[in-house]
Amino acid sequence: MPGEVKGGCGRRGKPLSRGRVSPSGKAKPRVAVLGKTRSILTWFEDLVVALRGLGCQVEAIGTQAEGASEKLLQRRDGLRDLDNPGVRERVATRLGSFAPDLVIALNRAGLPQGLDGAWERLIDRVPWVGWLCDNLNRVPPGQDARFAKVFYFDSGCLPALREFYGEHRADDFAFLPLAVNPGRYPCRAPGGRKPALVFVGKCSPHRRALFQELRSLGVPLEVYGPGAGDWRRPWRSRRFNAAQVARLYGTHAACLNLPQPGNTERGLNLRAFEVPCAGGVSLYPEVPDLARCFEPGTEMLVYRDAQDIAENIVPLLGDSGKLDDIAEAGRCRVLAEHTFEHRARSILEAIGLG
């Protein structure tokens, strides 16, 4: 099944399951999640919710600078995340108090070099894994390859991981796509769809260039989000919450998905899963990893360029029956395989805590 990972041992072949046992006799792993909180992208919060939904005890630890001393170090020395000694000390204290069975670090391939004894004891005592949620062309300098396993959402990350960890660690890399929290993107009630594409998101320059090209080819397109630039409808240029976005996905013929260059290259971004979850039809670029998650043409529409959209997608915009079939198939696939609870379970099973 797409996105699944298996395995039972970590570094040095040691068994990794050491979860506490509840009165019912069932193990309840203690999992610490490290990463950027309070972001527009909600994978940190959604993974925490999913782990708790599986019965885990979770400690969610943000790695942005907090408090005056951490922020001073960041401003003075430009040190962010775990490279900031103040952040590192706070995180180590939280981890020491929580005593996790597993640490999941989001969007990291390794840990900072030169960690002190307290950190070394933490790393040696429990497995650490990373889950890359943005594309990685190279691992930033100043990091050590210390994770028992690295999960990647985009196969474009593999060359950098192989160079950083070495080919002998190839079994410790696993494809784990992004996902959706169904509670954030509810499916709309059945109803009509506007015979137009919709884009919802930040309208960066490369995206605006494609919008212009599509419109020059006669493609009906509505744009929402910061930078939309619709002077006749200025309200479209604001940010929309998840429920509002879900409604836009479900009330248009298809949602145009434009991954940000650099962030996503060969894989699927969060919107690829959010659109079908909300009952919309996703229109995604033809990328290598897509068929590992969806059946193109049946569960998701796929395009190569603007001309392809004009010639092959626009004729489908008025076929509500076909669009509803694609939307339903895509939603069924997402709910069956691509929620954050599926991803959380995959991570736990991969290191023997499932």
Q: Under a CB-based contact definition with an 8 Å cutoff, are residues 350 and 31 in contact?
A: no
The residues spanned by each domain of the chain are 11-179+339-350, 194-337
* 194-337 matches 11-179+339-350 in CATH topology: yes
Largest CA distance in the chain: 65
Instruction: Give one DSSP letter per residue of 216-228, joined into a string.
Output: HTT--EEEESTT-
pLDDT reading at 2 higher than 60: no
Q: How far apart, in whole angstroms, are the C-alpha atoms of residue 251 and residue 330?
A: 16
For 11-179+339-350, CATH number? 3.40.50.2000
Place of tokens 């360029």: 305
- Residues 303-313, mean pLDDT to the nearest whole number: 96
pLDDT at 189: 63
pLDDT at 20: 47
pLDDT digits (tens, 9 = 90+) for 65-124: 898 988 998 889 888 889 989 999 999 999 999 999 999 999 999 999 989 888 999 999
DSSP alpha helices (H): ranges in the chain? Answer: 43-53, 67-77, 85-98, 117-125, 158-165, 205-216, 242-250, 271-277, 306-308, 320-337, 340-350
pLDDT digits (tens, 9 = 90+) for 207-266: 999 999 999 999 999 999 988 887 788 888 888 999 999 999 999 999 999 998 889 999
Q: How far apart, in whole angstroms, are the C-alpha atoms of residue 112 and residue 259?
A: 29
pLDDT digits (tens, 9 = 90+) for 33-58: 999 998 788 999 999 999 999 999 99
pLDDT at 190: 63
Nearest to 281 by CA among 309, 317, 235: 317
Domain 194-337 annotated CATH 3.40.1350.10? no
**Burial class, 241, CB count within 10 angstroms (exposed 0-12 / middle 13-18 / buried 19+):** exposed
Place of tokens 């995340």: 81
Nearest to 87 by CA among 67, 110, 60: 67
Helix axes 85-98, 117-125, angle to 10 degrees: 40
pLDDT reading at 3 higher than 80: no
What does pLDDT average to over the chain? Answer: 89
pLDDT at 28: 87
Question: What does DSSP say about strands 27-28 and 30-35: parallel, antiparallel, or unpaired?
Answer: unpaired
pTM over 0.85: yes
